Amino acid sequence: MIKPFENPIYITRPIMPDYEDLASRIQSLYDSRMLTNLGPYHQKLEEKLQEFLQVAYLSLFNNATIGLITALKALDLPFVSEVITTPFTFAATPHAIVWNGLKPVFCDIEPKTMTIDPEKIEAHITSNTSAILGVHVYGFPCKVDQISDISIAHNLKVMYDGAHAFSTKIDQESICSYGDITVLSFHATKLFHTLEGGALVYNDHSLHKKVKNLRNFGIQDEFKVTDIGINGKMNEVQAMFGLLNLSLVREEQNKRKLIADIYRNRLTVHDAIHIPEMPECTTDSLQYFPILIEDHRDLVYKVLREYNIHARKYFYPPCTDYDCYQHLGSRESLPVTYDIADKVLCLPFYGSLGYENANIICDVIEIALNKAS
């Protein structure tokens, strides 16, 4: 007989640096009193992340949402032009488009990777389209080569919301090397985190210069402001957490791999469950563990909750169900998006979950499916 967990089992739990290590570094902040404005921890973390992700240029941000807003601004898209994106994402993606005075145009996703469907992008392109903003949802890479071909043919900028794709690789190359800019999130719920935080990654030096300037109010020097910037700076405590957490990421990924194996082995036996698989030659970031449940997703979600297991329906409902975007898409115009959103459930997925708890979660899913039949 399985009993409900005494404490909630959440979708995720952040990795935490060793307390003594952190305390000794905090002491250095008391000594220097340099708390923010691109200090030494900030600089060091940018260098370390560049090295870790093997990317040319990276700029830290205080969160990925400000990163997205700044990235779109840096691309200098014509005011009120259209950006083609997907509604199968977190609110931050379309919101960043609108905060730039641009219009989101919602394109359907394709069923295998749950990312924007390149076959459907061209139907949305008009003379007013300026960019494509793909989302590497759950770390599944968008179809980057096809998107690149479309962007060249129509002279469009390409940006990726890689909030879930920290360290994802395609053919051994960082996913961040595709498109003009990729945005990463380092929020506490992410595999690698800085409490709150994010980064913009790109290959172009002039874009790097522009983003760095925009991130700091557009201030060039003490007496000169050259652009309408924002405050996107990460502070020293965040950067310090990041430096310590970076050394824990590989171990966390290894633990998550084993939990993923348990879920895969135990859950594929159910006809109602489909586990989306990463495309070949792709390295999984191991950020989320989404499963698709035919017909009974809401029942499984409810039964898990009865056992105090907090699986999440990311991303149900799609953004086109939000009051602000309802007029921009529907179940009829975005059939794959709505089909996946109706089936998806992200299971608790973090290193310290433990194998026993992962097995109990599978047991409870089985109980729920038995109730359904």
Does position 188 bind ligand T4K by CB under 6 A? yes
* 349 touches 5 (CB < 8 A): no
According to CB under 6 A, which one of 25, 154, 187, 331 is a site residue for ligand T4K? 187
Torsion, Cα of 352, 341, 173, 268 (10° steps): 60
Peptide bond into 279 cis (omega under 30): no
Q: Which of positions 46-75 make contact with ligand T4K (CB under 6 A)?
A: 63-65
Dmax (CA) of the chain: 71
Q: How far apart are the first and last CA of the chain?
A: 20
Closest distance of CB 240 from ligand T4K, Å = 17
Identity of the residue numbered 348 = P
Strand pairing report for 129-135 and 289-293: unpaired
Cα within 13 Å of Cα(65), Cβ side:
10
Number of Cβ within 10 Å of residue 1's Cβ equals 2
- Nearer of residues 154 and 307 to ligand T4K, judged by Cβ: 307
Tell me, residue by residue from 78 to 107, as one string, x for binding to ligand T4K by CB under 6 A and - for no binding: -----------xx-xx--------------
Q: Which of positions 291-310 make contact with ligand T4K (CB under 6 A)?
A: 310
Does position 17 bind ligand T4K by CB under 6 A? no
The DSSP result for 42-86, as a single string, is: HHHHHHHHHHHHT-SEEEEES-HHHHHHHHHHHTTPPTT-EEEE-
Give the binding range for ligand T4K (CB under 6 A) out of 10-18, 77-85, 278-286, 295-303: 10-18
- Nearer of residues 93 and 320 to ligand T4K, judged by Cβ: 93
According to CB under 6 A, which one of 131, 163, 175, 364 is a site residue for ligand T4K? 163
Residue with tokens 């030096």: 205
Give the binding range for ligand T4K (CB under 6 A) out of 6-14, 33-41, 97-105, 321-329: 6-14
- Nearer of residues 180 and 369 to ligand T4K, judged by Cβ: 180
Does position 361 bind ligand T4K by CB under 6 A? no
Does position 238 bind ligand T4K by CB under 6 A? no
**Is residue 128 within a helix (H) or strand (E), and if so which, with residue range?**
none
* 25 touches 240 (CB < 8 A): yes
* 86 touches 132 (CB < 8 A): no
Does position 252 bind ligand T4K by CB under 6 A? no
User: Which of 309, 284, 303, 298 lies closest to 344, judged by CA?
Assistant: 298
According to CB under 6 A, which one of 241, 263, 314, 316 is a site residue for ligand T4K? 314
* 198 touches 64 (CB < 8 A): yes
According to CB under 6 A, which one of 174, 185, 283, 320 is a site residue for ligand T4K? 185
- Nearer of residues 148 and 189 to ligand T4K, judged by Cβ: 189
Does position 129 bind ligand T4K by CB under 6 A? no
According to CB under 6 A, which one of 46, 161, 236, 284 is a site residue for ligand T4K? 161
Binding site residues, ligand T4K, CB under 6 A: 10-14, 63-65, 89-90, 92-93, 135, 161, 163-164, 185, 187-189, 198, 310, 314
